[in-house]
Structure 1
């Protein structure tokens, strides 16, 4: 799967946050101009993400990267992820930003891949619940893990939550028909935590029924009771979906597994060696 690339502006902002006015320690030691090499390696098995951005960070400080492992690649412990050569000063400037970016992004990608692998053939879609301000990194990591985005934000998707329905005083069939008439190019997704409500919404014409925290056995009942509709709705499981229950939801007939779990993954561990040439 193709993955996005972070913008130059985003990379510049990362460096500016960490090295706003130079590297006091390296400069004070008088070693900034010494030729040096840096090496990133995987301490454990992982799905690599953001190696391209790590390499770009080194380029932006005047170093020369090489041996970059592409995002989405599964590697074993000890695998070489990236090297770069330059001055000690340039490598120290980009070191921690590049390492930390790869660790967080690879952690998200690795957990996303575990969920994807747990339910082969079933779509895994990640929510918009990433850390505020870090969406481009989160999206890239989700893609690297083999999952897709459920929603990128509020502006492009039509998803009706119970919190929306609390303000509606018309039958579901009426407002569903109205939304489909006014936004015919959008699929209408409605969330519910009830089997009976899910069936009612499906009969009223919802395109996708998103089941919030219903157990797999309840999801299976919704699938069984709605599969005869023409057209039958897509059933999506949401709320607490992760690698431990993905297979059960897939077996229940859910076509989409909606999850935020990858965003809370433990960061991957990248070993760094920085030494004189």
Structure 2
């Protein structure tokens, strides 16, 4: 991936070192570039009329990205790229790594360049990093509430055109990605079952045969469907909108049904639907292996960040 800045990200200033964690896998440079170009075309259009009228041509400035609230940072790679597109000669310094936990008042990045270009980039850059950091913060909170029982996964409930970036933000928060799209995993849901008009166990077997080597997840609305999915060889049995007590009773039965089919095979059990911060700990302790939460991407509030600009010599 192309480097997002002219300087390597530095350590946070004035803060104690954070626990080591592997850096999240970055989004592709193509995904970043496409999102940035589209955002600037939408916001900048034919040019920034206000800056052209008010800001002297050739003036240089510094933009400082500040955190106004505690949270988990994601999207600095996109933030930097917005400024670089507007001013290829700008100097970007990232002061914290992606996935870092930051506190209110902390400086996250600086950009020095043409003042008009910085103003043209400011809003689009800030929109990206606030939105993605909000997703990372929500993901980190969910992961903390689930420890040590279950892993947290996202869903396909993402903003159209931003899935790669939003799933990256989920990784920055320490959660994991579910399938990226319809093409990389089979997931048999209620609509498939209702439209197919065939027994669920039979659909599972057919799915496994039709795409050998591809994981098969099955959404189960009740105990009967969960057991049918396990008997049909599903890799993941998703318990949809069930309360923690019901899942605690059902998990051993699902594992037993899967074991009866193949003693060497371990099925994963996933909870989905209706999970929020008030219920997630109980769901995680019910015996499931993983929890998928659509709200990580479709409802995460933006992290409160700000950009301050000042003229420089």
Please classify the TM superposition score into its range, dividing by the shorter chain length: over 0.9
Give the CA deviation at 1:119: 1.0
The match for 2:292 is: 258
Work out whether 1:51 is the aligned partner of 2:71: no
Query: 1:232 Cα deviation (Å)?
Result: 4.4
More moved, 199-208 vs 219-228: 199-208
1:196 aligns with 2:224: yes
The answer to whether 1:83 aligns with 2:110 is: yes
For structure 1, the residue ranges without an aligned partner over 5 or more in a row are none
Whether 1:137 aligns to 2:132 is no
Please tell me whether residue 69 in structure 1 is matched to residue 96 in structure 2.
yes
Q: CA RMSD in A?
A: 1.7
Give how far 1:269 is off. 0.8
Partner of 1:4: 27
Point out 4+ residue stretches in structure 1 off by more than 4 angstroms. Answer: none
Alpha-carbon distance in 2 for matches of 1:97, 1:177: 47
CA distance in 1, matches of 2:200, 2:123: 53
The count of aligned residue pairs is 277
How has the CA–CA distance of structure 1 residues 32 and 220 changed in structure 2, closer, same or farther, with 3 Å as cutoff?
Answer: farther
Distance of 2:106 and 2:138 partners within structure 1: 19
Secondary structure at the aligned position of 2:65 is classed as strand
Q: How does 1:174-193 map to 2 (within 5 A)?
A: 174-193=202-221
| 3-state SS in 2 of match to 1:108 | helix
Judge conservation of contact 1:39–1:83 (CA < 8 Å) in 2: yes
Match of 1:173 in 2: 201
Structure 2: state its 5+ residue gaps.
1-23, 260-264
Asked if the contact 1:3/1:144 (under 8 Å) is kept, the reply is: no
Check whether the contact 2:55–2:115 (CA below 8 A) recurs between aligned residues: no
CA distance in structure 2 between the partners assigned to 1:203 and 1:175 by the alignment: 11
Of residues 60-69 and 42-51 in structure 1, the stretch that sits farther from structure 2 once superposed is 60-69
- The within-5 A match list for 1:77-156 is 77-121=104-148, 122-156=150-184
Q: Normalising by structure 1, what TM-score?
A: 0.94
The structural deviation recorded for 1:30 is 4.3
Q: CA deviation at 1:248?
A: 1.4
